[in-house]
């Protein structure tokens, strides 16, 4: 079964992920079936979430080829959602060509987002101190494309130069992808086009060799780990009478078979 291309947008809250996702979707939607999954943080007390990302995507209303779904992060602390792997599988089942995944954005714990998508775009704000965060090895190693968003603000050019300088210090194996640094603004359509083209370039690079197979194995491992963590938490909280009920065994068996098939 063909798999949808997965593009992740992450970055600190307020960096403009939802707005950029909307403009990027407008650019990439023609000629394909595209879905957007936007994750909002859930309240640790009530479990509720505002699910307001779609408010910033008004320009997408009325586009029948687009599917937009806001989901709460629920019990996760990694910027994603409990049932995200299953939702992404459904997007494949229903024939989507591409999925844009907008994470909550929680800084240094973006590894989960890294393995769930093919191309990870990290958004940064000018003069926000994000350069210091970006200097940390974890973020530099995980992002495929750096985007200095709201590039009409002061300091955007300087920040892009700083990120390029920092990225140039990282060691890369021969043939490895070298993260690019772009400037973007919702008021400059050409910058959205440039980002879309760079995503296509990374997707083409990813199609060579065993790079996708490695990603698939990492996703299967993440899915199994999250499944065990979630079910264990439910048992401890008294929400399920037994860890070893039939549905749980079936899900574990599926996750283990996925690891075996991708390993």
Q: Locate the domains of the chain by residue range.
A: 5-208, 212-262
Coil, strand or helix at 119: strand
Average pLDDT of span 239-255: 59
What whole-number distance in Å separates Cα of residue 144 and Cα of residue 84?
A: 21
- Can you give the pLDDT at residue 84? 81
> What's the whole-model pTM score?
0.80
Could you tell me the pLDDT band of residue 245, with boundaries at 50, 70 and 90? low
Task: Report the alpha-carbon distance of residue 32 to residue 143 in Å, rounded.
Answer: 25
Pick 249 or 98 by higher pLDDT. Answer: 98
Q: What is the pLDDT of residues 5-24, one digit of tens each?
A: 999 998 887 888 888 998 99
The average pLDDT across 187-194 equals 95
What's the CATH number for 5-208? 3.40.50.300
C-alpha–C-alpha distance, residues 107 and 78, integer Å = 9
Better-predicted residue by pLDDT, 133 or 89? 89
What does pLDDT average to over the chain?
Answer: 77
Looking at residue 136, its pLDDT comes to 59
Q: What does the pLDDT read at residue 48?
A: 43
**Distance between CA atoms of residues 208 and 137, nearest Å:** 25
| H or E element, residue 98 | strand 98-102
Residue 57: the pLDDT is 56
For the segment 121-172, what is each residue's pLDDT rounded down to a tens digit?
999 888 766 665 655 556 667 889 999 999 999 889 998 998 888 878 777 7
Q: Is pLDDT above 70 for 253?
A: no
- Dump the DSSP string for 37-67: EEEEPPPTTT------GGGGGGGGTT-TTEE
Angle subtended at Cα 134 by Cα 104 and Cα 127, rounded to the nearest 5 degrees: 90
* pLDDT for residue 50: 47
Nearest-angstrom CA–CA distance, 222 and 259:
10
Q: What's the CA angle centered on 82, arms 77 and 88, to 5 degrees? A: 120
What is the average pLDDT across 31-59? 63
* Residue 160: C-alpha distances to residues 130, 168, 215, 253 (Å): 11, 12, 28, 46
Which strands sit side by side in the sheet containing 145-148, from one edge to the other? 66-72, 34-40, 98-102, 5-11, 119-124, 145-148, 180-183
Q: What local confidence, expressed as pLDDT, does residue 97 receive?
A: 94
Residue 239's pLDDT is 58
Instruction: Give the DSSP per-residue string, 126-167.
Output: TTSSHHHHHTSHHHHHH-SEEEE-STTSTTHHHHHHHHHHHH
Residue 58, pLDDT score: 57
What pLDDT, on a 0 to 100 scale, did the predictor assign at position 135? 57
- pLDDT higher than threshold 60 for residue 246: no
Q: What's the longest Cα–Cα distance across the chain?
A: 58
């Amino acid at each position: 079964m063909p798999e949808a291309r997965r593009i992740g947008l992450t970055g600190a809250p307020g960096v403009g992920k939802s707005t950029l996702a909307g403009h990027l979707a407008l650019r990439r939607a023609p000629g394909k079936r595209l879905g957007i999954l936007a994750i909002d943080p859930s309240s640790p007390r009530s479990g509720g979430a505002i699910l307001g990302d779609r408010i910033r995507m008004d320009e997408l209303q009325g586009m029948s080829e687009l599917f937009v779904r806001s989901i709460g992060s629920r019990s996760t602390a990694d910027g994603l959602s409990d049932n995200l792997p299953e939702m992404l599988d459904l997007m494949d089942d229903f024939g989507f060509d591409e999925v844009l995944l907008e994470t909550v954005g929680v800084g240094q714990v973006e590894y989960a987002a890294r393995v769930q998508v093919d191309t990870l775009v990290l958004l940064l704000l000018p003069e926000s101190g994000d350069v210091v965060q970006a200097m940390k090895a974890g973020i530099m190693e995980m992002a495929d494309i750096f985007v200095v968003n709201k590039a009409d603000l002061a300091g955007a050019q300087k920040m892009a130069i700083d990120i390029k300088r920092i990225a140039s210090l990282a060691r890369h194996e021969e043939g490895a992808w070298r993260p690019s640094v772009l400037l973007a603004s919702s008021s400059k359509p050409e910058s959205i086009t440039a980002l879309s083209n760079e995503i296509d370039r990374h997707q083409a690079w990813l199609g060579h060799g065993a790079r996708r197979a490695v990603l698939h194995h990492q996703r299967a491992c993440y899915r199994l780990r999250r499944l065990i963590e979630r079910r264990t938490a439910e048992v401890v909280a008294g929400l399920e009478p037994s860890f070893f009920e039939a549905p749980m065994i079936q899900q574990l068996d599926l996750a283990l078979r996925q690891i075996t098939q991708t390993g």
